[in-house]
Amino acid sequence: MMEQETYNKHLARMQALCSRSEKCRADIRLKLEQAGVSPAETEAILNALEKERFLDQERYATAYARDKSNLQGWGPRKIYNMLRIKEIPEEVIEKALSGLGEEQIRQRLTEALKKHRSFREKDPRKRYAALVRFGLGRGYSYAQIVDCLGKINESKHE
């Protein structure tokens, strides 16, 4: 174990960081590695942060999914992939994504597709292809995109 004074200093820094915004284990591990803390010491700090509830994977995943969906307009697939990169467990990700609501997801996708510059494209095939690529890049499924484009076209012809 590292010197108690150094351990306390790093722990206090990470507690302050976690109290400012939600962090996950991967974020804190990276910060500690950059500070030159050994893996065993890093694990001890991570366990202490979780025990004191400064770190909570479920709370982090829920906040991340909500923020990325609401603020950046990301779809479930992109959020899922980014949370996997951050080493969040599968069941935690599924729980966080279930809180987004299917209707809200479709509504956000519809708004994003209508605002996209390709929406004004004259050639319907080019417009369709560009909007599908845009939706896939945002992390929505092909089925969700096709469904929303169909509803947009129905409302245009009414």
Q: Which residue in 139, 81, 66, 153 sits closest to 109, CA to CA? A: 139
Mean pLDDT to the nearest integer, 55-84 = 93
Please state the pTM of the whole predicted model: 0.84
Mean pLDDT to the nearest integer, 92-101 = 90
DSSP three-state, residue 139: coil
pLDDT higher than threshold 80 for residue 140: yes
Q: Rounded to an integer, what distance in angstroms lies between the CA atom of residue 64 and that of residue 67?
A: 5
Mean pLDDT to the nearest integer, 104-124 = 85
Q: Rounded to an integer, what distance in angstroms lies between the CA atom of residue 75 and that of residue 83?
A: 13
In a shared domain, residues 63 and 78: yes
Q: Which residue in 61, 74, 83, 93 sits closest to 141, CA to CA? A: 74
In a shared domain, residues 42 and 10: yes
User: Which residue segment(s) compose the domain that 38 sits in?
Assistant: 4-55
In a shared domain, residues 51 and 64: no
